């Protein structure tokens, strides 16, 4: 399988976890992310479902519109 390097934005905890993982674990994470991105982009409907799920999980973890706006303003 041909691979290509991309850059994505993730939260600080995710970035630190990835950086501190072993090379083998990073390869596994790369594969999982690649599979998930492929799955999410197969059709517009599935991408919307993924986005809804991400939103629901963020809200369950306490993310509010105000917090999100504050985060986006920092960028």
The three-class DSSP label of residue 32 is: helix
How does pLDDT run along the chain (75 residues), one tens digit per residue? 688 999 999 999 999 999 999 999 999 999 988 888 887 777 666 677 878 888 888 889 898 888 888 877 775
Which tokens belong to 28? Answer: 């596994």
Looking at residue 27, what is its pLDDT? 92
- Give the model's pLDDT for residue 43: 64
Q: Under 8 Å CB-to-CB from 3, ≥6 apart: which residues? A: 30, 34
CA dihedral 65, 71, 72, 75 (to 10 degrees): 180
pTM score of the predicted model = 0.56
Residue 4 pLDDT: 92
């Amino acid at each position: 399988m041909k691979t290509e390097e991309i850059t994505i934005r993730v939260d600080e905890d995710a970035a630190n976890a990835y950086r501190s993982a072993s090379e083998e674990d990073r390869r596994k994470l790369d594969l999982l992310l690649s599979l998930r991105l492929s799955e999410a982009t197969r059709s517009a409907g599935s991408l919307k479902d993924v986005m809804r799920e991400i939103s629901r999980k963020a809200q369950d973890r306490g993310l509010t519109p105000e917090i999100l706006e504050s985060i986006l303003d920092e960028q």
